[in-house]
Amino acid sequence: MGTSETSGGNPFTRFAFASARVQSSSSHAEVKVNVTTGPSGSSSAKRGRSEELKKKASPGCPTKLIKFEPKSEIGTNQCTDTSQSDRRLELLLKLYDARKSMETPIDKFGTQVCVAPGVTSAKVERFQLLVAALLSSQTQDPITYAAMQRLHQLGESNEGLTIEVVQSTSEEELSEALKPVGFYHRKAHQLKRVAAILRTQFHGDIPRSLDELLQLPGIGPKIGRVITLLAWGQVDGIVVDTHVHRLAQRLGWASTTTPEDTRKELEDWIPNEHWGNLSLAVVGFGQTVCTAKHPSCSKCPLAAKCPSAFKVGTPNNKKNKTLQKSKKIRISEVKKSDN
């Protein structure tokens, strides 16, 4: 799914949830497209149940906001336990529904909204999405967003950051504009190299192939999947960051130890049509509700069916651990006094 070369707005606002779209409606038009699904090896019973669950989701469910072109060789969607898959899918749809009324950092400052508001070239727009995705690694969304605004100001036109601007700007000046992005010196160097490669090898555009993207400096599998999704509307698998990995464990969606293994397990049971929207939904939920240290279980709409509710990292749980530790210390002191 390409973007229009003459579009004056940012077409990638369609990846934002309702609250974020309302906020930017003055400058961006919402685009609704049909969902393209890939081949699936699911059983007929699972497909029937999946359709039933999707009918229960509200019309505003974010799964209807993106068209993607999933790779046929990725995932089989085979799940030996259909009932377990249905329970997990039901929880995912409930999370989608909850996200519609939330405004989270990724909705306001995520990669998909880092494009210059005056950009008219689809090539430039794709390049800006690549840069924002590269900067987002090890960096909070608001910091990445602010850095992108500074980079846009380096150019003299409304197009914002372009390959030509990067090539004509010194690495030191780029570093200063990126600061305090994580590893900003290294990323400034990577941007110079990426711009040169795109100019000479890809005619000033970014590659559409994930394999080719992974050959660029600073682009790993997760960032590469973000780029193909946002720049080309193409899904090369589920994007799994620390938030998605953490929530997958807490919600019982995966029993893995690494984000990459989590991605594979999620792709094994989640229908292809949800792959493109899952990351934005889950990341935002993880940023505001199911946070790493103190999840708000008492306010979570999924708590009734969450296997980890009030068990992991909650204030009550922390208090219980402190009491248990104090009890062990007192017992130890008693034993010492007896001796």
Contact yes or no for 230/12 (Cβ under 8 A): yes
Residue 222 annotated to the active site: yes
Largest CA distance in the chain: 84
Catalytic residue among 179, 222, 319, 325: 222
**Cα 56 from Cα 14, distance rounded (Å):** 22
Q: Supply the Cα-derived Rg of the chain in whole angstroms.
A: 22
Q: What is the 3-state secondary structure (H, E, C) of the chain?
A: CCCCCCCCCCHHHHHCCHHHHHHCCCCCCCCCCCCCCCCCCCCHHHHHHHHHHHHHCCCCCHHHCCCCCCCCCCCCCCCCCHHHHHHHHHHHHHHHHHHCCCCCHHHHHCHHHCCCCCCCCHHHHHHHHHHHHHHHCCCCHHHHHHHHHHHHCCCCCCCCCCHHHHHHCCHHHHHHHHCCCCCHHHHHHHHHHHHHHHHHHCCCCCCCCHHHHCCCCCCCHHHHHHHHHHHHCCCCCCCCCHHHHHHHHHCCCCCCCCHHHHHHHHHHHCCHHHHHHHHHHHHHHHHHCCCCCCCCHHHCCCHHHCCCCCCCCCHHHHHHHHHHHHHHHHHHHHHHHHC
Contact yes or no for 187/178 (Cβ under 8 A): yes
Q: Which residues are catalytic?
A: 222
